[in-house]
């Protein structure tokens, strides 16, 4: 009977942001979890299975929220889940209220609201170790008696309280809601806020009777650190330094695994050539699938490192300090203070960043944040930056120790932020004009990151990246290969142009290279590239780069796999096979001039910082705004800005003699 009950249980986790809910969810579910969206909306739905009483119970991680007043989409979804009104989600048998022991009074407000829904509630008291380290005490049995609901002290890192929590949840599911405190009588009192006052009065009494605080006059370590890290001048310098260190580490630490992956895919492509009969199928496998997908997967180490640092900064509490530092700047340009977290999320991917704007109540503030979120350099742009930097700026330093690669990477991120600020300033004073409301934000205590949570976040994002490489990028790679492979030009190779064959100018390419070049030139992709070449020529781009730009609209990182296919990386199995980096360096135009130069690479990076090269993002904007007007507007204005900035970069660089 007990095992059957556990199999049928549905349990929800509810709690304030930064209360330790995600850490507890990961501890309970391990790797038995998945992320999707609630039906019909773009609110993220995280679910998992919890080994409870001999069976697997369904665990739902509700969005982080401060109340159930349904003033935002997150709160509405959470309330619908608890009441059983959310489509496709069974009403929870028990709600685990995750309460931060270091912010007991604020966290308990949500708990009192949960009591109103007549659902069994078990309080998981997190951050108890941090609370006790400050010489504070909570009488847990006393608090449970006052709340008339089970309370369990939890330390997800050490496993403290996990077994007790499972026991209480099971008992609560069997026993029902019980006689938890209610506040219905307060509705009959005078005044519109009587019920609210009754809640706070109840909470204050419960906290005073169950806790003992250390009143020794001393500043806590967090306050001492905050005096430096949140300083209006030194704090910003430290933030820039932290970002610079992050990008420096991403480049230096990822070099060896990236080289190994590149060699592996090169060997795999050569193996396919050697063991399969010559023909279209072999070319597809070697030059289309392996070279295309491999050209993107090789950047997995950098993606992992990026999410490693993001997770560490969030877990330690520094990310909230960064939000505090940026709040004044955002207010000056008209953005809501809550816009910072969606914008930070957009550094990983604009899609969850745009979805995160649902916590912004004002429609104009929300739309303004959505319109500038894609300017944040997402992880999909990282392979493009890395390729250009590796080809023309690798190994260079400033002052003998600062990597040019790290400086350029930081500059690309800074450029996106700068343009986003300017665009937001204009939008909030024109089409989306509205005064930003005040921003209140909690600064969590500094704490050591949870290694398990960090690794789990990295693995989740890595899987999503690989899944994308194995689906969207694979399909695009095959399509691009076909566009460049057909129609077949079986005519004899034409001799190299005289300008190419001149003895003292450029070495004459081999006959097979000339034939491949002619084949690509007359393929469907080549014709499409030639069509747009007059438009992109002022940016220093030729028709081959044009083909890659068109392909990258499906997904930004596809540009790398497209170039891998265009330059036949991994096609030849002899000792003279070149990597994509060297292929880009050696690429020549028909007149013998180099296709790529440091200035061309920089121009392409600038274009990718500012261009809307992601149809998935546009689709999400359509869903979030419920209109095609805003995604069309986004694509149009970002393309104009990207083209203008790239034009100024290339033509300005030429005028200054950099090419």
Per-residue buried b or exposed e for 604-622, using 16+ beta carbons within 10 Å of the residue's own CB? bbbbbbbbbbbebbbebbb
What DSSP character marks residue 432? Answer: T
pLDDT at 540 over 80: yes
Task: Name the average pLDDT for the chain.
Answer: 81
pLDDT given for residue 294 in this prediction: 79
pLDDT given for residue 637 in this prediction: 96
pLDDT given for residue 35 in this prediction: 67
Q: Residue 373 — very low, low, confident or very high, per pLDDT cuts 50/70/90?
A: very high
Q: Enter the tokens of residue 419.
A: 């343009």
pLDDT in tens, 148-162: 999 999 998 888 999
Rounded average pLDDT over 495-513: 44
pLDDT at 609 over 70: yes
Q: What is the 3-state secondary structure (H, E, C) of 606-633?
A: HHHHHCCCCHHHHHHHHHHHCCCHHHHH
Residue, of 7 and 207, whose pLDDT is higher:
207
pLDDT in tens, 46-98: 889 998 877 889 999 998 888 888 677 778 888 899 988 888 889 999 999 99
pLDDT in tens, 307-361: 788 788 888 888 878 877 877 777 778 887 678 768 877 887 787 678 778 767 6
Rounded average pLDDT over 101-128: 91
CA distance 520 to 478: 15
Q: What is the DSSP string of 235-285?
A: HHHHHHHHHHHHHHHHHHHHHHHHHHHHHHHHHHHHHHHHHS-SSHHHHII
Q: Residue 547 — very low, low, confident or very high, per pLDDT cuts 50/70/90?
A: confident
Instruction: Specify whether the CB–CB gap between 341 and 311 falls below 8 A.
Output: no
Residue, of 221 and 279, whose pLDDT is higher:
279
Residue, of 42 and 212, whose pLDDT is higher:
212
Q: In 3D, which of 127, 116, 175 has the Cα closest to residue 153?
A: 127
What is the Cβ-side half-sphere exposure of residue 416, based on CA atoms within 13 angstroms? 26
pLDDT given for residue 570 in this prediction: 42
% of the chain at pLDDT higher than 90:
27
Q: Enter the tokens of residue 392.
A: 């023309």
pLDDT at 177 over 70: no
pLDDT given for residue 43 in this prediction: 66
pLDDT at 451 over 90: no
pLDDT given for residue 219 in this prediction: 47
Rounded average pLDDT over 116-127: 92
pLDDT given for residue 576 in this prediction: 32
Instruction: Specify whether the CB–CB gap between 261 and 301 falls below 8 A.
Output: yes
pLDDT given for residue 143 in this prediction: 94
pLDDT in tens, 566-578: 776 644 323 233 4
pLDDT at 3 over 60: no
pLDDT in tens, 90-113: 999 999 999 999 888 889 999 999
Q: Enter the tokens of residue 409.
A: 């990477």
Pairing of strands 94-100, 10-15: parallel
pLDDT given for residue 643 in this prediction: 97
Q: Where are the domains of the chain?
A: 2-212, 234-427, 451-655
Residue 51's beta-bridge partner residues?
56
Residue, of 523 and 168, whose pLDDT is higher:
168
pLDDT at 493 over 70: no
pLDDT at 507 over 50: no
**Backbone dihedral region of 614: left (phi > 0), alpha (psi from -120 to 50 degrees) or beta?**
beta
pLDDT at 215 over 70: no
Q: Residue 498 — very low, low, confident or very high, per pLDDT cuts 50/70/90?
A: very low
Q: Which CATH superfamily is domain 2-212 in?
A: P-loop containing nucleotide triphosphate hydrolases (3.40.50.300)
pLDDT given for residue 313 in this prediction: 85
pLDDT given for residue 318 in this prediction: 86
pLDDT given for residue 550 in this prediction: 84
% of the chain at pLDDT higher than 70:
83
């Amino acid at each position: 009977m007990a095992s059957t009950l556990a199999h049928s249980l549905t349990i929800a986790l509810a709690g304030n942001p930064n209360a330790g809910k995600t850490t507890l969810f990961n501890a309970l579910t391990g790797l038995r979890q998945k992320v999707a969206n609630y039906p019909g909306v773009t609110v993220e739905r995280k679910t998992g299975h919890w080994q409870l009483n001999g069976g697997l119970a369904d665990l739902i991680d509700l969005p982080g929220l401060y109340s159930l007043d349904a003033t935002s989409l997150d709160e509405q979804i959470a309330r619908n889940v608890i009441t059983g009104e959310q489509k496709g989600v069974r009403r929870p048998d028990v709600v685990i209220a995750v309460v931060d022991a270091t912010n007991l009074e604020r966290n308990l407000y949500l708990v009192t609201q949960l009591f109103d829904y007549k659902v069994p509630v078990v309080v998981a008291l997190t951050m108890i170790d941090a609370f006790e380290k400050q010489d504070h005490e909570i009488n847990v049995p006393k608090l449970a008696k006052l709340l008339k609901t089970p309370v369990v002290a939890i330390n997800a890192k050490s496993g403290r309280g996990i077994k007790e929590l499972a026991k209480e949840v099971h008992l609560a599911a069997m026993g029902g809601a019980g006689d938890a405190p209610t506040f219905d009588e307060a509705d009959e009192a005078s005044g519109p806020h009587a019920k609210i006052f009754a809640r706070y009065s109840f909470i204050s009494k419960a906290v005073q009777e169950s806790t003992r605080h250390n009143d020794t006059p001393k500043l806590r370590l967090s306050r001492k650190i905050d005096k430096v890290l949140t300083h209006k001048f030194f704090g910003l310098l430290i933030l820039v330094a932290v970002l610079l260190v992050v990008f420096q580490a991403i480049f230096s630490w990822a070099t060896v695994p990236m080289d190994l992956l590149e060699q592996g895919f090169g060997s795999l492509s050569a193996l396919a050539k050697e063991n399969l009969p010559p023909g279209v199928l072999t070319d597809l496998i070697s030059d289309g699938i392996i070279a295309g997908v491999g050209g993107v997967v090789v950047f997995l180490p950098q993606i992992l490192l990026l999410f490693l640092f993001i997770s560490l900064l969030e877990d330690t509490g520094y990310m909230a300090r960064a939000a505090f530092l940026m709040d004044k700047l955002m207010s000056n340009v008209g953005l809501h203070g809550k816009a910072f977290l969606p914008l930070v999320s957009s550094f990983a991917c604009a899609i969850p960043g745009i979805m995160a704007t649902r916590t912004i109540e004002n429609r104009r503030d929300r739309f303004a944040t959505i319109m500038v979120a894609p300017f944040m350099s997402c992880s999909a742009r990282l392979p493009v930056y890395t390729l250009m930097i590796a080809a023309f700026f690798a190994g260079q330093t400033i002052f003998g120790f600062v990597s040019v690669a790290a400086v350029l990477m930081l500059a690309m991120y800074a450029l996106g932020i700068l343009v986003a600020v300017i665009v937001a300033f204009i939008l909030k004073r024109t089409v989306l004009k509205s005064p930003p409301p005040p921003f209140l934000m909690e600064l969590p205590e500094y704490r050591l990151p949870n290694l398990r949570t960090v690794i789990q976040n990295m693995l989740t994002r890595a899987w999503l990246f690989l899944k994308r490489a194995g689906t969207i990028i694979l399909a695009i790679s095959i399509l691009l290969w076909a566009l460049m492979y057909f129609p077949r030009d079986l005519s004899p190779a034409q001799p190299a142009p005289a300008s190419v064959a001149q003895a003292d100018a450029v070495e004459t390419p081999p006959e097979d290279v000339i034939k491949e070049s002619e084949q690509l030139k007359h393929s469907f992709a080549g014709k499409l590239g030639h069509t747009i070449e007059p438009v992109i020529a002022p940016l220093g781009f030729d028709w081959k780069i044009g083909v890659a730009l068109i392909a990258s609209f499906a997904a930004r990182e596809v540009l790398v796999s497209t170039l891998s296919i265009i330059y036949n990386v991994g096609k030849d199995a002899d000792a003279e096979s070149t990597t994509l980096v060297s292929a880009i360096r050696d690429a020549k135009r028909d007149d013998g001039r180099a296709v790529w130069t440091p200035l061309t690479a920089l121009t392409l990076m600038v274009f990718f910082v500012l261009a809307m090269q992601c149809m998935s993002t546009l689709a999400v904007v359509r869903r979030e705004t419920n209109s095609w007007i805003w995604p069309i507007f986004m694509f149009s204005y970002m393309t104009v800005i990207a083209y203008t900035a790239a034009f100024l970069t290339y033509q300005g660089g030429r005028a200054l003699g950099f090419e």
